[in-house]
């Protein structure tokens, strides 16, 4: 029987002081493997699945809700997912302060909060300044993957992406083999995807690549 690494919950919850500046992923993971980032990781369902399916990459999930971040960190610990970490924080701020230039192989954003009211659109994560940050942190060839159930937010994402000539829009490809129990219609295997499939919602997906 394979032994799980002896991981403590705190080790899965990545703590970075405000003064730390840009972090070195090799210091976090103890190796130089490619790193992928998920924003709005929720309870860590996608992060755990992809970390287990693709152990040759490292994974970081950022989650704003403390209870979810702690739940996800404990889940990673219970499954011995030594190649994944959770950050409890606000993604746009954390990325700007702590993620080094050209250091990521992929950025995943699945079912981000749509903020449907017009007066709240400015709170949407996918905006031009955020896409500029994505361009900064992706390594050459790195991909941004976006999925939403919200048609208006999807139109807003496409419009924002269309203005970014240094990110090339490409067809969406599923980032990971889905779990055997994923319902028909799954493309990323997150909790919200499962819930929305049950409700019969339509999904919209796009991706972009840094040349």
Catalytic residues: 113
| Maximum distance among all Cα pairs of the chain, rounded to whole angstroms | 55
Q: How far is the CB of 134 from ligand SAM (least distance, A)?
A: 14
SS3 125: coil
Instruction: Specify which residues 13 forms β-bridges with.
Output: 86
Chain-centre distance of CA 23, in angstroms? 17
Out of 138, 190, 203, 207, name the contact with ligand SAM by CB under 6 A.
190
SS3 115: coil
The residue (of 12 and 62) whose beta carbon lies closer to ligand SAM is 62
Q: Is 68 in the site for ligand SAM (CB under 6 A)?
A: yes
Q: How many angstroms separate the CA atoms of 174 and 151, rounded?
A: 20
Q: How far is the CB of 61 from ligand SAM (least distance, A)?
A: 9
Q: How many angstroms separate the CA atoms of 112 and 131, rounded?
A: 14
Out of 12, 14, 25, 40, name the contact with ligand SAM by CB under 6 A.
40
SS3 40: coil
**DSSP for residue 122:** G
Instruction: Specify which residues 39 forms β-bridges with.
Output: 62, 109
Q: For ligand SAM, which stretch binds (CB under 6 A), given 2-10, 13-21, 62-70, 176-184?
A: 62-70
Q: How far is the CB of 62 from ligand SAM (least distance, A)?
A: 5
Q: Is 203 in the site for ligand SAM (CB under 6 A)?
A: no
Q: For ligand SAM, which stretch binds (CB under 6 A), given 19-27, 50-58, 133-141, 186-194?
A: 186-194
Q: Which residues contact 120 (CB under 8 A, 6 or more apart)?
A: none
Element spanning 192, H or E: helix 191-198
Q: How many angstroms separate the CA atoms of 36 and 123, rounded?
A: 24
The residue (of 39 and 84) whose beta carbon lies closer to ligand SAM is 39
Out of 11, 52, 64, 136, name the contact with ligand SAM by CB under 6 A.
64
Q: Is 61 in the site for ligand SAM (CB under 6 A)?
A: no
Q: How far is the CB of 198 from ligand SAM (least distance, A)?
A: 13
Q: Is 139 in the site for ligand SAM (CB under 6 A)?
A: no
Which chain residues interact with ligand SAM by CB under 6 A?
A: 39-40, 42, 62-65, 68, 90-92, 110-113, 125, 190-193
């Amino acid at each position: 029987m394979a032994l799980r690494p002896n991981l403590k919950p705190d080790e899965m919850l990545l703590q970075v002081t405000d003064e730390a500046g840009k972090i070195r992923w090799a210091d976090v993971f103890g190796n130089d493997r490619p790193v992928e980032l998920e924003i709005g990781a929720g309870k860590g369902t996608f992060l755990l699945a992809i970390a287990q399916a693709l152990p040759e990459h490292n994974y970081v999930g950022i989650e704003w809700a403390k209870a979810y971040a702690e739940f996800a960190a404990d889940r990673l610990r219970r499954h011995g997912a030594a190649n994944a970490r959770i950050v409890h924080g606000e993604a746009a701020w954390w990325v700007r302060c702590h993620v080094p230039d050209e250091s990521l192989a992929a950025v995943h954003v699945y079912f981000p909060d749509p903020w449907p009211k017009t007066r709240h659109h400015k709170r949407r994560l996918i905006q031009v300044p955020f896409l500029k940050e994505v361009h900064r942190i992706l390594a050459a060839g790195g991909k941004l993957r976006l999925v939403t159930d919200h048609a208006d937010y999807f139109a807003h994402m496409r419009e924002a992406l269309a203005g970014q000539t240094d990110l090339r829009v490409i067809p969406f490809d599923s980032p990971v083999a889905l779990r055997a129990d994923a319902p028909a219609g799954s493309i990323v295997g997150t909790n919200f995807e499962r819930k929305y499939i049950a409700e019969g919602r339509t999904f919209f997906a796009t991706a972009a690549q840094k040349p």
